[in-house]
Amino acid sequence: MPQSILFKHASVVFPTEVATANVLVEDGKIIDVDAAETTQCDQTIDARGKFLMPGVIDDQVHFRDPGLTHKEDLATASHACAAGGVTTFLEMPNTKPPAITVEGVRQKEALAADKSLVNYGFYIGATVDNVAELQRAEDVPGIKIFIGSSTGNMLVDEQEALERIFSETTLPICAHCEDESTVRANAARLKDVCDVAVHSQIRDVAAAVTATRRSIDLSLRHQHRFHVLHVSTGEELQYLAGTQPYVTAEVCPHHLFFNVDDYQRLGSLVQMNPSIKTAEDNRRLWQGLMDGQIQVIATDHAPHTLEEKQQPYPASPSGLPAVENSLALMLNQVAEDRCSIVQVAQWMCDAPARVWGIVGKGRIAVGYDADLVLVDMQQQRTIRDEQQHTKSRWSPWHGTTLTGWPVATWVGGRCVFDEHGFDERVRGSKPRFDHHRGGYWATPDGIGV
């Protein structure tokens, strides 16, 4: 394994610009971003004509391990990550058993240390009665609350329990925001409709807005950092305004690129929680990204087998795989001049590192970890189900041709994926989470080292 690597003539995606530079990596760290071409090292990579960007940090995934590994596991999911340019993932707690104790989180970390090709972190899940456990938790990205769309005691929608979590814990919180009472009332009213398109009427705009407003109110009153997961409606944006330094938000590719018109073509393959909304919501969410109201793009990668997804609604489960195509989907938007590659790196690399206090990640800068992706903006490729690395082996973007693809990925300075395939010897590691740095709004210059 090379201990030092020189990336020569790369178009380097820095935090505010793209510039041609020579990036030197030693022992898994970036030690120079203006190295001489004659620098002696173990390996030299001529990156002329390609872009070198920081590895993607996907802060919302469901990798199904343990308990639901017929859908996905940490090995298959991390292969999908590596192929897609994702070098760090943060995984949600609703596995079987759920990660609602510190020990449960540590058990998942042990699984990842054994299986994962890329870096990993695991949220601890909130329940109606585990505040003491949430207080014990350290060195995790944060707390996840399901305000709707869960089962058992992981559904937390009673105000008293929410007040306790926000007032008596210190870790940053994120939440699935759909109001459970609204969803249940809609489901009862529409119970005789079996068309999957009704899903967006059951999980409607009001359900999302009600829960998002409620969560932001809790965040601001208790001055507790809060991250709104998978914003799905344009209506939610107004409640994000003026919420600094406590609130951040994210959007997922399926809420940017799919809407209710796609049910006719794709059916339950685009059945999601929160549901996809209208073309106008697509437009407004894009505008929210461009205006800085939304800081992060994450996937909510949540695979099911194709057989499960193709059951008649409502037996069909919600969720879709996206982690290996998310960067390419956004690079295609760069190719279409909708945004810049610097913005993509801000949304997918730098911002999630800052939101969750992931030390030394998210930027190409001296001292940062050498989690890197080489991108070919000239490459065109068509997404095919049979070529997917996720265990589910399907994508709602099957048949879509994109311009701009990751072609090689490094984790801690080790090439884990390139044109030759995967290096199965590589294993990721758990990053350091430093929440004392204050999160996104307190770290405009990055999370540092």
Q: With contact defined as beta carbons under 8 Å apart, do 88 and 58 qualify?
A: yes
273 and 195 part of one domain: yes
Q: Report, as residue numbers or ranges, the catalytic residues.
A: 300
Q: What is the pLDDT of residue 157?
A: 84
- Residue 31 forms part of a structural domain: yes
| Shared domain check, 303 and 183 | yes
Distance from C-alpha of 1 to C-alpha of 314, rounded to nearest angstrom? 50
DSSP state of 314: T
Q: What pLDDT does 1 receive? A: 66
Residue 153 has a pLDDT of 65
26 and 142 fall within a common domain: no
Gap between the Cα atoms of 260 and 320, Å rounded: 16
Determine the Cα angle at 405 with ends 400 and 406, to 5°: 140
Cβ atoms of 137 and 99 within 8 Å: the answer is no
Which pLDDT score is estimated for 432? 98
Name the residue among 364, 241, 341, 346 with its Cα closest to residue 297: 346
Domain count, the chain: 2
Extended strands (E) in 308-439: 372-382, 401-411, 414-418, 421-422
The total number of residues written for the chain in this structure: 449
Instruction: Tell me, yes or no, whether 288 lies in a domain.
Output: yes
Q: How far is CA 98 from CA 151, 165, 179, 258, in A?
A: 11, 18, 21, 30
Q: What pLDDT tens digit does each residue of the chain (449 aa) get?
A: 678 999 999 999 999 999 999 999 999 999 999 999 999 999 999 999 999 999 999 999 999 999 999 999 999 999 999 999 999 999 999 999 999 999 999 999 999 999 999 999 999 999 999 999 999 999 999 999 998 655 556 889 889 999 999 999 999 999 999 999 999 999 999 999 999 999 999 999 999 999 999 999 999 999 999 999 999 999 999 999 999 999 999 999 999 999 999 999 999 999 999 999 999 999 999 999 999 999 999 999 999 999 999 999 999 999 999 999 999 999 999 999 999 999 999 999 999 999 999 999 999 999 999 999 999 999 999 999 999 999 999 999 999 999 999 999 999 999 999 999 999 999 999 999 999 999 999 999 999 99
Yes or no: say if 42 and 27 are a contact pair by the CB < 8 Å rule. no
Radius of gyration in angstroms for the set of CA atoms belonging to the chain, rounded to a whole number: 21
For residues 117 and 81, the answer to whether their CB atoms sit within 8 Å is yes
Question: Do 382 and 267 belong together in one domain?
Answer: no
Answer yes or no: do 347 and 313 share one domain: yes
CA 14 to chain CA centroid, Å, is 20
In a domain, 125, yes or no: yes
Residues 150 and 250 in one domain: yes
The answer to whether residue 115 sits within a structural domain is yes
Distances (CA, A) of 40 to 4, 43, 184: 9, 9, 64
Spatial distance between the Cα atoms of 193 and 214, rounded to a whole number of angstroms: 29
State whether 316 and 404 are in the same domain: no
Q: How far apart are CA 147 and CA 92, in angstroms?
A: 14
- 9 and 67 part of one domain: no
Written as six digits, the tokens of 172 are 């940053």
Looking at residue 2, its pLDDT comes to: 73
* Pairing of the two strands 124-125 and 86-91: unpaired
Within a domain: 249? yes
Domain end position, chosen among 329, 344, 359: 359
For residues 293 and 408, membership in a common domain is answered with: no
Answer yes or no: do 191 and 286 share one domain: yes
Residue 448 lies in a domain: no
Cα–Cα distance list, 358 to 8, 61, 325 (Å): 27, 16, 23
Q: Is residue 428 part of a domain?
A: no
**Residue 81 structural domain:** 55-359
Amino acid at 311: Q
Triad 143, 72, 176: Cα angle to 5°: 30
* Per-residue tokens: 342: 């610097």
Helix 205-222 × helix 180-189 angle, to 10°: 170
Instruction: Judge if 397 and 263 occupy the same domain.
Output: no
Q: Where are the beta strands (DSSP E) in 237-276?
A: 247-251
Q: Do 249 and 280 sit in the same domain of this protein? A: yes
CATH number of 30's domain: 2.30.40.10
Instruction: Dig out the tokens for 272 from the structure.
Output: 């999601």
Distance, in Å, from the CA atom of 7 to the CA atom of 407, rounded to the nearest integer, reads: 14
Instruction: State which amino acid sits at residue 197.
Output: A
Compute φ and ψ for 341, nearest 5 degrees.
-70, -25
What CATH number is associated with residue 184?
3.20.20.140
Examine residue 44 and state whether it is found in any structural domain, yes or no: yes
